[in-house]
């Protein structure tokens, strides 16, 4: 249904004379990347445009459940019309359509990944892999410019009489102008490049549809010899018996629903019967989508009722399983179910629980293959651990599935394995949180634990600062941050010598006076081996890493000055004790030590200039003494 009244010349689009708009800076750069860097598999453009057309039709069908003005026409479908003479390819749908504002917003800006990130990711992939980035970055529409010199989009929003034309050559700007369209929906009109003749052949287009979009539920037709000929099977793959579905079909369906181009790590396909009846086809991705952590936390598993798409906002899985993709289809909900009803219906609650339990069982089974499960955990472990924090029902199950790095073990370990290796007399599971997995094993916080052969879990994901307190215990053993475990470690420490005690009795009061309110206490400790000082959390408040995270996010942090622990066996601490005994001031050295302890913890210095000045003066003094 290309609009002939506002149509263009057979060979090139006519100037629209409408409102001209510049692309956002990101889209302008993105178009250049798409056109010049993704040529390896240009056929993907059709898969993206057809998928968008099907999504728009799904959206209109759903909106029509509560708004009669949105009702779909009989025989709604996606139509592909190649015109060799005009060198024009048109993809049309009967979907929700777009208003003028929606055309400008959806086709003139890009809300997701920045072009710098896109370019960096592009450079990592081989040419044959690059087309996968189209789906991964959500830039499917712009793939049209890989094969077209110019693109027109004529769209009429369902429920309105007004149509608009979006037009661009993909070189920095687009125009918007009034148009006419007999029915709501969208036409995407591609004026093909000279080297894109293959995409004007009906047989080639059908092969692409069969490959990439065979499982789209809406009929897809291709205009050939004056007829609309079916191009896709349009079958609900999830309704077929597992024995009748090939691995290739499952992979292609996964790529369709997820917009990823990897191979799924796990496929779950089953039919549930009993008090509720539903069919599910779910996938756990084989790789982590780019910028996954920045996506919304809600699950986007698609809900179908009697094969008809209803919504992907039904939260069929908890947020900590939001990486799972796929379809759940039930007979036990009405087709006209509203979003409000979905949140309240007991049927959906039971489906959610059943689907969640099935995914957890799959993870338990696959966790027995340590190597394969390690790849999954690398991708999605941080997300699963969110459930330990915010889902009381599954907290214990998830703690058992979690994997951790350790100060004593190679590779990943579990909490259960940690407990089995605990020392005699050890009552807690010790952990250390930080930002950098490379530097955390060398933290001074670990010195005393390493010296006594006590294992410590090394946690570097942001959520690791939260979930241990919420979990509390595992198999009867408390989880405890090493920065709050001074008293625990004392039972494994050799007592201070009388000489060390005497020196500390002289030094500690001087350090407390010099540091004032910057610390809550200064104490000696034998948990340090090579470092002179280390910070410890005060009292029962949040540990040091959590305090840092709260400050970075702008949250109010309790006024909890840290404890400064000193190593009485360290030469610098012994020298300071001697100086204090002679009546010398150690204020500058004490402040330098506190700043060193902060740096060791990854904190920013409150006054870098003062630190530099004190350190320079101290080094100058030492150099003078040496001379």
DSSP E strand stretches across 434-560: 457-459, 473-474, 477-481, 521-524, 533-536
Angstrom distance (rounded) from CA 363 to CA 354: 14
Whole-number average pLDDT of the chain: 83
- Report the candidate in 520, 433, 526, 534 with the shortest Cα–Cα distance to residue 479: 433
CATH number listed for the domain at residues 385-490: 3.40.50.11260
Going by C-alpha positions, the residue among 261, 252, 283, 291 that lies closest to residue 110 is 291
Nearest to 612 by CA among 584, 587, 591: 591
- E runs forming strands in 434-481: 457-459, 473-474, 477-481
pLDDT score of 16: 46
What does the pLDDT look like over 494-531, one tens digit per residue?
Answer: 556 666 667 788 899 999 999 999 898 998 887 788 89
From the list 621, 622, 560, 572, the residue with the least C-alpha distance to 596 is 572
* Residue from 144, 224, 226 nearest 188 by CA: 144
Q: What is the rounded average pLDDT of the residues 32-37?
A: 60
Give the pLDDT band of residue 281 (cuts 50, 70, 90). very high
Q: How many CB atoms lie within 10 A of CB 232?
A: 23
Nearest-angstrom CA–CA distance, 541 and 550: 13
**Known binding-site positions for ATP:** 48, 52, 93, 98, 106, 113-114, 136-141, 186, 339
The domain spans of the chain are 27-230, 237-289+297-367, 385-490, 504-622
Q: Which residue has the higher pLDDT, 285 or 134?
A: 285
What local confidence, expressed as pLDDT, does residue 324 receive? 96
Nearest partner of 378 among 425, 412, 354, 352, judged by Cα: 412
| Percent above pLDDT 70 for the chain | 81
Helix or strand (DSSP H, E) at 354: helix 346-366
Would you list which residues are annotated within the binding site? 48, 52, 93, 98, 106, 113-114, 136-141, 186, 339
Q: What is the pLDDT of residue 212?
A: 74
Closest residue by Cα to residue 587 from 614, 605, 612:
614
Do residues 508 and 497 touch, judged by C-beta distance below 8 A? Answer: no
In angstroms, rounded to a whole number, what is the distance separating the alpha carbons of residues 364 and 344?
Answer: 30
CATH dotted code for 237-289+297-367: 3.30.230.80
Structure tokens at 147: 């094969």
Instruction: Look at residue 405 in the predicted model and tell me its pLDDT.
Output: 96
Residue 93 to residue 392: CA distance in whole angstroms: 45
Using alpha carbons, list the distances in angstroms from residue 423 to 454, 464, 477, 491: 7, 24, 12, 12
Q: What is the pLDDT of residues 69-103, one digit of tens each?
A: 889 999 999 999 999 999 999 999 999 999 999 99
How far is Cα 187 from Cα 13, in angstroms, rounded to an integer? 14
Decide the pairing of beta strands 227-230 and 266-272.
Answer: unpaired
Measured distance CA(46)–CA(52) in Å, rounded: 10
Range scoring the smallest mean pLDDT among 65-74, 151-160, 275-284:
65-74
Give 27-230's CATH code, choosing from 3.30.565.10, 3.30.2350.10, 3.30.470.10, 3.10.20.30: 3.30.565.10
Given a cut of 90, whether residue 39 has pLDDT beyond it is no
Q: How confident is the model at residue 6 (pLDDT cuts 50, 70, 90)?
A: very low
pLDDT of residue 3: 43
Pairing mode of beta strands 163-168, 325-330: unpaired
Give the whole-angstrom CA distance, residue 121 versus residue 101.
31
Does the structure show a pLDDT above 60 at 11? no
Least confident among 255-269, 326-340, 587-601:
326-340
CA–CA separation, 340 and 338 (whole Å): 5
**Phi, psi of 283, deg, nearest 5:** -135, 135
CB neighbours of 195 closer than 8 A, spacing ≥ 6? none
Superfamily covering domain 504-622? Heat shock protein 90, C-terminal domain (1.20.120.790)
Q: Rounded CA gap, 350 and 275, in Å?
A: 9
12 versus 387: which is more confidently predicted?
A: 387
Identify the pLDDT of residue 2.
43
Residue 480: band (very low, low, confident or very high) from pLDDT cuts 50, 70, 90: very high
Degrees, nearest 5: CA angle 245-55-151: 115
Q: Could you tell me which residues come within 8 angstroms of residue 8 by beta carbon, excluding any fewer than 6 positions away?
A: 14, 152, 189, 191
- Of residues 283 and 528, more confidence is placed in 283
**With bands split at pLDDT 50, 70 and 90, how would you rate the model's confidence at 126?**
low
> What percent of the chain clears pLDDT 90, i.e. is strictly above it?
45
Nearest to 572 by CA among 587, 590, 557, 554: 590
Give the separation between CA 537 and CA 521, rounded to whole angstroms. 10
User: 420-475: per-residue pLDDT in tens?
Assistant: 999 988 999 999 998 888 889 989 889 888 888 899 999 999 899 889 999 999 99
Sheet holding 477-481, edge to edge: 405-406, 457-459, 428-433, 477-481, 473-474
């Amino acid at each position: 249904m290309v609009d002939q009244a506002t149509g263009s010349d057979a060979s090139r689009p006519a100037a629209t004379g409408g409102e001209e708009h510049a692309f956002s800076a990101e889209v302008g750069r993105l178009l250049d990347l798409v056109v010049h860097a993704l040529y390896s598999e240009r056929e993907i453009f059709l898969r993206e445009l057809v998928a968008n057309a099907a999504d728009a039709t799904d959206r209109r069908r759903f909106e029509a459940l509560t708004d009669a003005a949105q009702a779909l026409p009989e025989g709604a479908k996606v139509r592909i019309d190649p015109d060799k003479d005009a060198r024009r390819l048109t993809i049309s749908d009967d979907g929700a359509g777009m208003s003028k504002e929606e055309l400008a917003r959806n086709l003139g800006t890009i809300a997701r990944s920045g072009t710098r990130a896109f370019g960096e990711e592009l450079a990592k992939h081989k040419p044959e892999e690059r087309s996968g980035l189209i789906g991964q970055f959500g830039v499917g529409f712009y793939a049209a410019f890989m094969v077209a010199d110019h693109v027109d989009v004529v769209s009429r929003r369902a429920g309105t009489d007004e149509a608009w034309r979006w037009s661009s050559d993909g070189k920095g700007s687009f125009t918007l102008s009034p148009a006419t369209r007999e029915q709501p929906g969208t036409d995407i009109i591609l004026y093909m490049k000279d080297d894109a003749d293959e995409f004007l052949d009906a047989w080639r287009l059908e092969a692409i549809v069969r490959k990439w979009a065979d499982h789209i539920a809406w009929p897809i037709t291709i205009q050939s010899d004056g007829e609309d000929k079916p191009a896709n099977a349009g079958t609900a793959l999830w309704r077929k018996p597992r024995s009748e579905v090939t691995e290739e079909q499952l992979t292609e369906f996964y790529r369709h629903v997820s917009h990823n181009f990897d191979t799924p790590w796990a496929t779950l396909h089953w039919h549930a019967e009993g008090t509720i009846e539903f069919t599910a086809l779910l996938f756990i991705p084989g790789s982590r989508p780019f910028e996954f952590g920045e996506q919304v936390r809600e699950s986007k598993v698609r809900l179908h009722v009697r094969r008809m798409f209803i919504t992907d906002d039904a939260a069929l899985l908890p947020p900590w399983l939001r990486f799972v993709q796929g379809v759940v289809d039930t007979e036990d909900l009405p087709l006209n179910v509203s979003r409000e009803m979905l949140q309240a219906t007991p049927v959906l609650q039971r489906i959610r629980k059943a689907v969640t339990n099935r995914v957890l069982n799959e993870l338990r089974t696959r966790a027995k293959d340590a190597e394969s499960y390690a790849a999954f955990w690398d991708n999605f472990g941080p997300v699963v651990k969110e459930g330990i924090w915010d889902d009381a029902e599954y907290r214990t199950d998830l703690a058992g599935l979690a994997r951790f790095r350790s100060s004593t073990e190679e590779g990943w370990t579990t909490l259960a394995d940690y407990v089995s290796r605990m020392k005699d007399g050890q009552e807690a599971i010790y952990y250390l949180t930080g930002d950098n997995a490379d530097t955390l094993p060398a933290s001074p916080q670990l010195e005393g634990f390493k010296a006594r052969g006590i294992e410590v879990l090394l946690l570097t994901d942001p959520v690791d600062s939260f979930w241990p307190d919420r979990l509390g215990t595992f198999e009867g053993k408390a989880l405890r941050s090493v920065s709050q475990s001074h008293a625990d470690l004392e039972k494994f420490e050799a007592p201070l010598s009388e000489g060390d005690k005497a020196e500390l009795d002289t030094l500690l009061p001087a350090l407390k006076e010099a540091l004032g309110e910057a610390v809550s206490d200064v104490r000696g400790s034998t948990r340090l081996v090579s470092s002179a000082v280390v910070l410890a959390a005060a009292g029962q408040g949040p540990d040091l890493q959590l305090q840092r995270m709260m400050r970075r996010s702008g949250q109010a942090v309790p006024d909890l000055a840290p404890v400064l622990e000193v190593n009485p066996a360290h030469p610098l601490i012994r020298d300071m004790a001697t100086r204090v005994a002679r009546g010398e001031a150690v204020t500058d050295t004490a402040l330098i030590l506190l700043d060193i302890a902060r740096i060791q913890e990854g904190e920013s210095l409150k006054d870098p200039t003062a630190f530099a000045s004190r350190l320079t003066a101290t080094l100058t003094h030492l150099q003078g003494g040496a001379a």
